[in-house]
Amino acid sequence: MESVRSDAAASPGESALTVKILVAGGFGVGKTTLVSAVSEIRPLRTEEALTEKSIGIDDTSAVASKTTTTVAMDFGRITLPNGLVLFVFGTPGQDRFWFMWDELAKGALGAVVLVDTRRLADCFASVDYFERRGVPFIIGVNRFDGAGQHSPDQVRDALDLSADIPVITCDVRERESAKQVLITLVEHIMRTMSGRQAVTY
C-alpha cells in the first residue's frame, strides 16, 4: 500500500496511510447511505432527482421512497482506530453510468458490494467487475424492511462466491454497522495482499 500524507488525520511530522476503496452495488441498495453514515467529513454527493424520464429505466419497485440517484459518485473519509484513513467512493448503480467505474476504480485497493436480497441479480455486474480485475471485495448484505432473512452462506452460494470472500450482514443507516463493513474489507485486503506476496516469494 502506498503511504500518503493526510494532514487531517496525522499530527505534525507524521504521515497517515490512506487507502482508496469503492462501495458498489445495484440501484438503491444503500451506497450513498453507507458513505454518509461513516464519513467524518461532510460527504460529497452527486445526486439528482428522479424524474419521469427515468420511468421504465430505473426500477424503483423495491425502493418506492427513493427520490434521488447518484449520477457520478459519492465521497467520504473515515479514520479507523489504528490510524488508517479510508477514502470511500460510492459508485453509481445504474448501467448507463458505468462508464465512470474505470476512473473511480483507479488506485482502489478493494471494494464493498452492497446487496439487497430482494434484488440479488442487481449486484452480479459489480461482483463480475471486481472479480475480472482481481480487486479484493466483500459482500455487505444490507437489511431492508420486508427482505427475507438469509444466512451469509446462503448469499455466498447464491452468488457463487469462493469461501474466502467475506459476506457480512449490515444496516448501513447505522454508523457502527457501516463502519464494521469497512473494517471487514480492510482485513480482507490485508489477507489477500499477504497471500499474494507469499505466492510471489
Residue range 151-187, pLDDT digits in tens: 999 999 999 999 999 999 999 999 999 999 999 999 9
Q: Which of 4-13, 34-43, 117-126 has the lowest mean pLDDT?
A: 4-13
Higher pLDDT, 10 or 91: 91
Higher pLDDT, 32 or 68: 32
Task: Report the chain's mean pLDDT, rounded to a whole number.
Answer: 82
Distance (Å) of CA 31 to CA 17, 51, 195: 24, 20, 29
In percent, the amount of the chain with pLDDT more than 70 equals 75
Does position 8 have pLDDT exceeding 80, yes or no?
no
Higher pLDDT, 117 or 4: 117
Q: Which three cell numbers stand for residue 119?
A: 434484488
Contacts of 88 (CB under 8 A, 6+ apart): 21, 22, 23, 34, 35, 38, 39, 74, 75, 76, 77, 78, 182
For the chain, the first-to-last Cα distance in angstroms comes to 18
Output the pTM of the full model.
0.79
pLDDT band at 71 (very low <50, low <70, confident <90, very high): very low
- What's the rounded Cα separation, in Å, for the pair 187 and 172? 19
Q: Which of 55-59, 98-102, 160-164 has the highest mean pLDDT?
A: 160-164
Asked whether 112 and 140 are in contact (CB, 8 A), the reply is yes
pLDDT digit string (tens) for 13-29? 456 799 999 999 988 89
Does position 10 have pLDDT exceeding 60, yes or no?
no
